Amino acid sequence: MNPKSVTLIGLGPMGQAMAGAYLDGGYDLTVWNRTPGRADQVVARGAKRAASVEAALTANDLVVMSLTDYDAVFAILEQAPATALAGRTVANLTSDTPGRAREAAAWLAERGAVQITGGVQVPPPGIGTPEAMTYYSGPAVAIEAHRPALEVLTGIDHLGEDPGLAALYYQIGMDMFWTGLLGYVHAQAVARANGIPAEQFLPHAVKTMDFRYFLEFYAPRIDAGAHQGDVDTLTMGAASLEHVVHTVEASGVDASLPAAALAVFRRGIAAGHGQDSLTSLIEVLSRQ
């Protein structure tokens, strides 16, 4: 079998970018997608359209999957006989929970296939660029066997054997990503309400959203459980958030997001952490 040969199942925006990277890299690419028309462009560029899920699976040792969630993964894989999966390595680059990733790995193992779980850390245009990375977990031997084909897409950050680990790291990242980016979007609603265009505020937004100093300062303190309020306190943070809520309300913008943050700070103060650092909220949140 041509070593530069791979099957790709799923042609959403991410799958389209992956297909493009494989075709650019000279790969013999077989594709399958639930809505067949979404494969037309990559087929026009030289990809082979599999007539069935079974044909897609049996075309190559390595099967890359990029789908909305693991319900979609199962909906597709269950269309093929188990014999089509035996001996395959499924690089499942679909996001979902760690539990679902472990469930799928066990399901595939029962059918003689190996799952490599992946959590892609870049948007579709980042696929194939040098700085792009994917969290991977699963058997090292399977990752090494397919390293060249996986590296066509992104770099490999192999976290360990547990198939849920890549999904866990990915979801921890998404926890920061969505709440952080929503904070940005909310702040831009306040800026717009006050006649400040997003582009005008951009340099200030970039500076404010660069949390590197804080992350490096707090990480060792978090691990040590050292929440002393020598630099910041929850009482100070709550006072600051009250100013934010009042400014947001005066701007005619929905204040539910900073109000939710203020409520968490107040819970921390009520729990006796008023003179402790922001990081003491980890203890409060973990009590849930």
Contact 164, 117 (CB under 8 A): yes
Query: For residue 205, how far is the Cα from the chain centroid?
Result: 23
The answer to the question of residue 68 lying near ligand NDP (CB under 6 A) is yes
The correct pick among 6, 7, 8, 11 for binding ligand NDP (CB under 6 A) is 11
Residues 24-63 within binding reach of ligand NDP (CB under 6 A): 33-35, 38
List the structure tokens of 223.
Answer: 């691990």
Contact between 200 and ligand NDP (CB under 6 A)?
Answer: no
As beta bridge partners, residue 155 has: 133
Residue type, 184: Y
Structure-token pair, residue 181: 């980016």
How many other CB atoms are there within 10 angstroms of residue 111's CB atom? 17
User: Among residues 7, 30, 89, 95, which is the contact residue for ligand NDP, using CB under 6 A?
Assistant: 95
If binding is defined by CB under 6 A, does position 13 make contact with ligand NDP?
yes
Residue 154 or 233 with smaller CB distance to ligand NDP: 154
- Radius of gyration, CA atoms only, the chain: 23
Closest alpha carbon to 20 in 4, 3, 8:
8
Cβ-based nearer residue to ligand NDP, 79 or 275: 79
Q: Residue type for 195, please?
A: G
Q: By CB under 6 A, tell whether 104 contacts ligand NDP.
A: no
Closest CB 98 distance from ligand NDP, rounded Å: 14
Least separation, in Å, of the C-beta of 111 and ligand NDP? 18
Kindly list the residues in this chain that would bind ligand NDP in the complex (CB under 6 A).
10-15, 33-35, 38, 66-68, 71-72, 75-76, 94-95, 120, 123-124
